[in-house]
Amino acid sequence: MVKVTYWESVLEVAKDWPADGPVPKEELLTIWKWDYLKVNLLEQQGLAWRGESYKNQGWAVLMVLKVAKGSTPYVVFITEQNTRACMGRAIKMCEEGTLELREDKYA
C-alpha cells in the first residue's frame, strides 16, 4: 500500500478545480501550501515559526515573518505585489534556504 501525504491528497483534489475561477487555482494552492506547510518549511532551515503579519502599503504588501533560531528571535521582511505573492516568495525562499534573517529588535 502506497502512503499518500496530506499535501499529495490536496493536489489530487485540486486537479478538478477550475484554473481560472474567482480565485485562480495556483493562488489557492499557494495560500493552502503556506498555511499548511510553513512550520515544516521553516523547521527544515532550523527555524521555529513565531508568527507573521501583513501590511498593505497601497502599492505593495509587506509580510513580516517572525521566526526563532534557538532562543534568538528573528524577522524576515518580504515585499510583493499582494499577500499571496508574499506567501509564494516565502515558500520559495524556505525551499532554497535563502531567508534573510534580521534580529528582532522588538521581541
Which residues does 32 contact at the CB level (< 8 Å), separation at least 6?
A: 10
Q: Which helix (H) or strand (E) holds 80?
A: strand 72-80
What is the Cα Rg of the chain in Å? 15
For 104, phi then psi, to 5°, come to -80, 105
Give percent above pLDDT 90 in the chain: 74
pTM of the model: 0.88
**pLDDT, tens digit (0-9, with 9 covering 90-100), for 8-58:** 898 898 898 888 888 888 999 999 999 999 999 999 999 999 999 999 999
CATH class held by domain 6-103: alpha beta
Q: Which helix (H) or strand (E) holds 91?
A: helix 83-96
Q: Which helix (H) or strand (E) holds 5?
A: none
Amino acid at 22: P
